[in-house]
Amino acid sequence: MVYCKCMSSKKLLLPISKSVLYTLGRMAEDAIWFTFNSYRFRSAFNKGGIEYARLLKRQLTEASIKRSIRELARNKFIKIKKLEKRLIISLNDKGRLALLQNQLQHIKPGDGVCTVVVFDIPEAASSARRKFRRWLKNCHFKMLQRSVWITDRDVADLVNKALPSLRLPGWIITLTTLSSIVHKSYQKI
């Protein structure tokens, strides 16, 4: 497994496959094709200097990208279909959740808004409930009660985007509220 440094933190090392996954997600959201040309390296040089451009160029070799895409497919983050001489790469539910989790983790707290997630998942789906709690915890939510989770970030839209991928129909409600209302409860956690 190959690791690369994440730009947001010098200490954080991500597997290159996760970096490729997050890059694919950002490009898909912005409708940018998955191409790495000289313009990309020029903008990388402007952002972080020659060392960052060299690091990016090294990471983006064709072999490492192919290997990372195979690893993402093996771990079921993406689906690959071959159509004539082209490859069609699409995210599946696991990949969408990983991308949304990454986006949720990078949203800064503040602006006086909190997001509250309330759920009532039946005992028959207890494994899905455990996975959902773990996902909430990884996304900087704190448990207020077993089925009520809260964060000091305005992430209700992103959580709602994740609900179809979680396949927990009608059991989850997301609320956005002012942090002054829940400030005392949140401070106790």
pLDDT tens digit sequence for 89-147: 888 888 888 888 888 888 887 778 888 999 998 888 888 899 889 989 988 899 988 89
- pLDDT score for 143: 92
Q: Which amino acid is at 44?
A: A
pLDDT of residue 138: 87
Query: In the chain, how many H helices and how many E strands?
Result: 7, 8
Amino acid at 114: C
Provide the mean pLDDT of the chain: 75
3-state secondary structure (DSSP) of residue 187 = helix
Q: Where are the domains of the chain?
A: 3-91, 107-188
Q: Are 52 and 45 in contact (CB under 8 A)?
A: yes
Residues, the chain:
189
pLDDT at 51: 67
pLDDT digits (tens, 9 = 90+) for 38-86: 455 566 556 666 666 667 667 767 667 778 888 888 988 888 888 888 8
Q: Which pLDDT score, from 0 to 100, does residue 1 have?
A: 46
> Both tokens of residue 82?
């071959």
Highest CATH level, class, for 107-188: alpha beta
Task: Give 147-185 as a DSSP string.
Answer: TEEEESS--HHHHHHHHHHHT-TTSEEEEEEEHHHHHHH
Q: Please state, in angstroms and rounded to a whole number, the distance separating the CA atoms of residues 60 and 9.
A: 20
